[in-house]
Amino acid sequence: MLESIADRALNSEVSLSGAKLVDNEVEVWWKNKASPGRFSPFWLRDHCHAKQSLNPETLQRQVDTFAIPVDIAPAELQISDGGRALRIVWQHDGSISLLPAAFLWRIAQDGGRDTAPRRRLWDRAVMAQALPTMTHADIMSGSEGLLRWLSMVEEYGFALASGMPPTIEATEELVTRIGYVRETIFGGMWDFTANLAFKDTAYTSAAIGPHTDGTYSIDSPGFQLFHCLKFDGSGGESTLVDGFKVAEQIRRTDPMAFEILSTVRVPAHYLGDGVHLRAEHPVIGLDHNGDFVQIAYNNYDRAPFRLPTPRMNAFYRALKLFNQLINDPANEITMRLAPGTALLFDNWRTLHGRRAYQGFRRLCGAYLNKEDFDSKLRVLRAGAACAAA
């Protein structure tokens, strides 16, 4: 019988004490006396973990879902392997399904959905004490250090790595500990000074207001890492704002503005350098539960679009409120990125900007896809749970 790594971690803790058919559902009881779980017979056959049903190498489904009779029913329900599995003999063909207790427990708890990210919203006051930071040595020392650092990024939307060697090679090594470097029109790992190599304000020394990157990308970069390799001048502090905190502030205080910012899909574009990228995102992206998924805001890159005048006016009013709040010093933290300190932030949550500067600055960094960051965090968490079990 196969198990995912997440279920393996639960294995020693969860076991079944009984099962019976109730109103055409299979009801299972747990030894820990938690409320019984109920599953449809069709679903149980579809999720059979016997190796002819689930590929042992890839954990891909091998059951022919569409050959399962719609009125499938169990002939026998047995608890096997000392409570670690449910064994079902099916009435229609006598075949046997096996389902691990830990798997059934996990599905009974979360319905097979990802649990909500662990987040703590912040403003300047919350961050007054200390910024989430770990040393490069601790992050690179093993899975446990990396897990702690990525968990900080999940919780706060950013974290710093101190004590870095001030080189592009060390920066790339840190990025690739998390996932692969995302290729974009700017390349993979980038390394730039104010040279106007691209048609983008990021390549000048002017101040840049708080924004998220890649509003013109259908799948905006999930994470970005900056590392200042050399700075000889004045100004140039980086600014960060918790976009989810600002969104929550608007939800609480101005429901009309919140409705507009979370429903109007704002087009954005990148024109030049031989490309024409275009995508649409609401400023405040929500999931079906109303939880925050993505902030997408870059007033520089907003593409022309028009709504009926009353709605357009309401949109401008809402956008002005959002812009006011992200520029409110109470919501903003500032830091000077110095050689040896890298900043990793969630580009779907944390807005970033930069004060104007004079002098020479060399900054390198990379984008990471959201799915690769999330994958690494899941793998590290499951590994840590297995080690603890």
Token look-up 């006011």 returns 324
Considering the complex, state which of residue 123 and residue 213 has its C-beta at the smaller distance from Fe ion.
Answer: 213
Cβ closer to Fe ion: 331 or 347? 347
H or E stretch including 6? helix 5-10
What's the half-sphere exposure (Cβ side, CA atoms, 13 Å) at 300? 15
Per residue in 317-345, is it b (16+ CB within 10 Å) or e — as a string?
ebbebbbebbeeeebbbeeebeebbbbbb
Q: How far is the CB of 228 from Fe ion (least distance, A)?
A: 14
d(CA 165, CA 127): 26
Task: Please name which of 228, 223, 226 lies closest in space to residue 212, comparing C-alpha atoms.
Answer: 223
The residue number with the shortest CB distance to Fe ion is 213
Smallest distance, Fe ion to C-beta of residue 145, A:
28
Q: Give, as ranges, the residues between 205 and 234 that touch Fe ion (CB under 5 A).
A: 213
- Nearest approach, Cβ of residue 276 and Fe ion (Å): 20
Number of residues lying near Fe ion (CB under 5 A):
1
Got the DSSP string for 179-223? SPPPPBTTBSSEEE-SS--SSSGGGSSS-EEEE-S-TTSTT--SE
Residues numbered 154 to 213 that lie near Fe ion (CB under 5 A) are 213
- Dihedral sign, Cα of residue 142, residue 146, residue 148, residue 151: negative
Closest to Fe ion by CB, 172 vs 213, is 213
Handedness of CA 100, 101, 102, 103 (dihedral sign): positive
Nearer to Fe ion by C-beta: 112 or 187? 187
Residue 7 near Fe ion by CB under 5 A: no
Work out how close the CB of 214 gets to Fe ion at its nearest, in angstroms, rounded to a whole number.
9
When the beta carbons of 100 and 210 are compared against Fe ion, the nearer one is: 210
- Sheet containing 37-39: order of strands: 16-22, 25-30, 37-39
Nearer to Fe ion, 12 or 204 (CB): 204
The least distance separating Fe ion from the CB of residue 218, rounded to whole angstroms, comes to: 18
Give min distance, CB of 162 to Fe ion, in A: 22
Residues that bind Fe ion in the complex, under the rule CB under 5 A? 213
